[in-house]
Amino acid sequence: MKFKNFANKNQYTVMLLVMLAAVLVFFSITRGSLLWTGDAWYGMAMQFPEYGLMTLGVMFCFITGNIDMSFVALGNFATIFAVRYMAANAAEGASDGHVRAVIVTGILITLLICLIGGFINGVLVTKLGIPPVMATIAMQLVWQGLSTALTQGNTVTGLPAMYTEIGHSKMFGFLPFPLFIFIIAFILCALIVRYTVYGEMIYMIGTNVKAVRYSGINTDRVVILTFVITALVSGVGSLIMVSTMASAKADYGSSYVMRVILILVLAGILPDGGMGKIPDLLLALVIIQIIASGVNMFASLNTYYASLIWGALLLIVLIASTKLSGGIFKIRDDKKKKQVSSQ
C-alpha cells in the first residue's frame, strides 16, 4: 500500500528505476562476467564524474527555466588558462609545497573564469533579455573561438604530475577521487535545492518568473547567481576532465553538451523550468554510464552504440511519459503564451 502510494506520487522515479533494472539485467545476462567486476565499476566511477558534475551544474539552469550550452566551452577556456599557469609555474624539481600552491591557484583561476563566464550569461539573459538558448550558444562560440585562437588549436600540456596523481588517487583507499568530488558536490547541490531559500526560489522562478518578481524578489539576481553556480559546478567537472586527459584543449568534451542535456531530460528535468527531482538525476546518470560501459564490454561494438541506445531510450521515455499523468514533456500552453507575451 505504501509502495503503491509512493509509486503513484513518483511515477517518473519508478519508471527510471524500472529502466535501470532493465539495463542491469540486460548487461548481466549478456556480459555478466564483465559487468560484475570491481574493474568495471571502478572504470565507471572514473568516467562519469566529469560530465556528472556538468549535469549537476546545468540542472540549476534548467530548474529556473533557462538553458546553458556554453559550459563545456567555458570550462575549456578556463582550464586552458589554468594549465598554462600551472605548467609555467610548477617547474620540474620544485618543492611539493610549491607545486601544491600552484595547483590550488590554478584551480582558483579556473573557478574565477567560470564565475565571470556564468555572470556574463546571466547578464545577457536577465538584463538584456536575450533568450537563454541564443545567449549561451553565442557565448559558447565566443569561448571556444577564444580558446582556439589562444592555443592555435593545439593541446596545452605540462600539467604538474601531482595534479594528475591526485585525479587518479583513491580517497580512504577505495573511493576514486573524481567520484569523491562528485559525491560531495551532489550532496551539496541536493541540500541547496532542497533546504535553502535559493532552492525554493529557483523552482518558483522556473514556473513563473514574473510572479516571483511581483512578490518582491530580485529574480534577476537569482538567475544570474544560477548561471554562476552552473558555470562553477561544471567548471569542477572540467578540472576533472583535465586531470583525466592530462592536458587542456579548445574542443575537449564537445559531445558533453548534448549528453548533459540528454541526461537532464531523461531525468525529467526540463528546460521549461520548475520541474525535476535530484534523485532522478542520479538515476539517469547511472543509467547513461552503465549503458556506455556495458556497450564497451562487447568487443564488436564501438562506442557509438551507446549513443544509439541513449537516443532510443530518450525517445521511449518521451513517448511513454505522454501516457503518464501530467505528461511533462508535452508542449505547455501556458509556457508558450508566456514566451509570446515576453517577446
Partner 1 sequence: MNKTAWKRLTKRTEFYIFIVLIALIAGIQIVSGGQLLEPTTLVTILRGMVVDGMFALICLIVMISGGFDLSFPAISAFAYSAATTICVNQGWCETNPLAGFLLAILFGAILGAFNGWIIANFKLNTMIVTLGTQTFFTGLTMGLFQMKEITSTLPASFRALGESYFFEVYNSQGQRSTLTTSIVFLIIMIAVTSFVLRKTMFGRALYAIGGNEVSAERAGYNVKRIKFILYVAVGALAGFIGMVRVCLARQSIPKAMVGKEMAIIPAVILGGASIFGGEGSVFGTICAIGLITVVSNSMLLVGIDSYWQNFFNGLVILIGITISAVQAKRQRR
Partner 2 sequence: MSEYLLEMSGICKAFSGVQALDHVNFHIRPGKVMCLAGENGCGKSTLVKIISGVYVRDQGDVFFQGQKLDRITPAEATRLGIQVIYQDLSIFPNLTVRENLAINSEITDRRRIVNRKRWTKTAEEALSRIGYQIDLDVKMGELSVADKQLVAICRALLFNARLIIMDEPTTALTKREVDALFRTVRKLKEEGIAIMFISHKVEEIFEISDDVCIMRNGKNVFEGPTADLTRDDFSYYMTGRRIQPDPFVPEHIQEKPVLEVEKLCADPYYHDISFQLRKGEILGITGLLGSGRTELAMSLFGLIRPDSGKILLNGQPVSIKSPEKAKELRIGYVPEDRLTEGLCMRQPIADNIMLASLDKVSRRGILNHRKLFSEACRWVKTFSIATDDPHKYAQTLSGGNQQKIVLSKWMNNNLDILILNGPTVGVDIGAKQDIHHLVHGLAHKGLAVIIISDDISEVVTNCSRVIVMKEGMIVGEMKSEEITDQRITEIIH
- Asked whether position 6 contacts partner 2 by CB under 8 A, the answer is no
**Is the Cβ of residue 192 or residue 286 nearer to partner 2 in the bound state?**
192
- Asked whether position 210 contacts partner 2 by CB under 8 A, the answer is yes
Judged by CB under 8 A, the chain residues 314 through 333 that form the site for partner 1 are 314-315, 318-319, 322, 329-331, 333
- Asked whether position 135 contacts partner 1 by CB under 8 A, the answer is yes
- Asked whether position 145 contacts partner 1 by CB under 8 A, the answer is yes
Figure out which of the listed residues 29, 128, 197, 299 binds partner 1, where binding follows CB under 8 A.
128
Question: Rounded distance, CA 73 to CA 52, Å?
Answer: 16
Q: Tell me if 66 sits within 8 A of 220, measured CB to CB.
A: no
Figure out which of the listed residues 73, 185, 204, 224 binds partner 2, where binding follows CB under 8 A.
204
**Is the Cβ of residue 225 or residue 306 nearer to partner 1 in the bound state?**
306
* Residue 342 backbone dihedrals phi, psi, to 5 degrees: -90, 0
- Asked whether position 201 contacts partner 2 by CB under 8 A, the answer is yes
**Residue 199 binds which one of partner 2, partner 1, none, with CB within 5 to 8 A depending on kind?**
partner 2
**Residue 330 binds which one of partner 1, partner 2, none, with CB within 5 to 8 A depending on kind?**
partner 1
Figure out which of the listed residues 169, 196, 322, 339 binds partner 2, where binding follows CB under 8 A.
196
Q: Tell me if 119 sits within 8 A of 190, measured CB to CB.
A: no
Cell, residue 32: 555478466
Question: Rounded distance, CA 10 to CA 191, Å?
Answer: 20
Question: Rounded distance, CA 278 to CA 284, Å?
Answer: 10
Question: Rounded distance, CA 123 to CA 129, Å?
Answer: 9
- 277 burial class (0-12, 13-18, 19+ CB within 10 angstroms)? middle
Question: Rounded distance, CA 179 to CA 127, Å?
Answer: 37
**Residue 230 binds which one of partner 2, partner 1, none, with CB within 5 to 8 A depending on kind?**
none
Amino acid identity of residue 224, one-letter, is I
Binding site for partner 2 (CB under 8 A): 195-201, 203-204, 207-208, 210-218, 274, 334, 337-338, 340-341
